Amino acid sequence: MPAVTIIEAHLDDVQHQAALVALIDAYARDQMGGGQGLTEEARMALIPGLRQHPTTVVFLAWDGHTPVGIAVCFVGFSTFLARPLLNIHDLAVLPSHRRQGIGRLLLEHVAAKGRALNCCKLTLEVRADNATAQQLYASVGFDSAASYGGAVRVWFLEKRLP
C-alpha cells in the first residue's frame, strides 16, 4: 500500500478546492465517469455549490503533494431506520494510482465519518458495467439493499430538470 494520506477536505482551502475540481474533472473524463471533462461552467460552480450544500463531506487522497483520489459524500436520512445515512456520490482514484488500496482507504475514512455522525448506513450507486468498483464495494461489505435483509435489486433512476 502506498504512503497515501487521506484528509477531510476544507472547502475554504484553495489547495483543497483545486484538488477537488481537478479530481472530479479527471473522473468525468474517465470512461466510467462519462468520458467528458467538466464544462467550464461546472468547474466554476462546483466549489460554491458544494460549499452551499449543508451536508457535503469530501475526502481527498494525497500521494505526497499530489491529489490522487476523492470521495464526495452527502449526509441524508433513512426514514425506515430514523437515522442519518452517508451517501457516497463520487469515489474516484486517478488511473495512475488504481489497484493500490487507495479506494479502500477512502471508503474506510467515509465509514469512520459515518460512524462519527451516527449514520445507520452508507449508500452509493455504481454502474452495472463497472465490475472493478463492484468488487471493491463488495469486499468492504456493500450489498444490494442489505438493510432490507436480503439481496434486493435496487435501481438508481434520474430525471434531469431543465
CA–CA gap between residue 95 and residue 107 (Å, rounded): 17
Q: Which three cell numbers stand for residue 61?
A: 487522497
Number of alpha carbons in the 13 Å side-chain half-sphere of residue 33 = 19
In the predicted structure, residue 119 carries a pLDDT above the cut 90: yes
Residue 72 three-state SS? strand
160 in a domain, yes or no? Answer: no
How many structural domains does the chain have? 1
CA–CA gap between residue 56 and residue 36 (Å, rounded): 24
pLDDT attached to residue 1: 47
52 in a domain, yes or no? Answer: yes
161 in a domain, yes or no? Answer: no
CATH number, residue 132: 3.40.630.30
Q: Which domain, by its residues, includes 85?
A: 4-148
154 in a domain, yes or no? Answer: no
29 in a domain, yes or no? Answer: yes
CA–CA gap between residue 35 and residue 135 (Å, rounded): 22
Q: Tens digit of pLDDT for each residue in 59-81?
A: 999 999 999 999 999 999 999 89
Helix, strand, coil percentages in the chain from 3-state DSSP, rounded to 5: 40, 25, 35
122-124 β-sheet, strand order: 4-8, 56-63, 66-78, 83-93, 122-124
**Looking at per-residue confidence, does 128 or 94 come out higher?**
94
Give the N- to C-terminal CA distance of the chain in Å, as an integer. Answer: 44
159 in a domain, yes or no? Answer: no
Q: What's the mean pLDDT in 74-102? A: 95
Q: Per-residue confidence at 127, pLDDT binned at 50, 70, 90? A: confident
156 in a domain, yes or no? Answer: no
68 in a domain, yes or no? Answer: yes
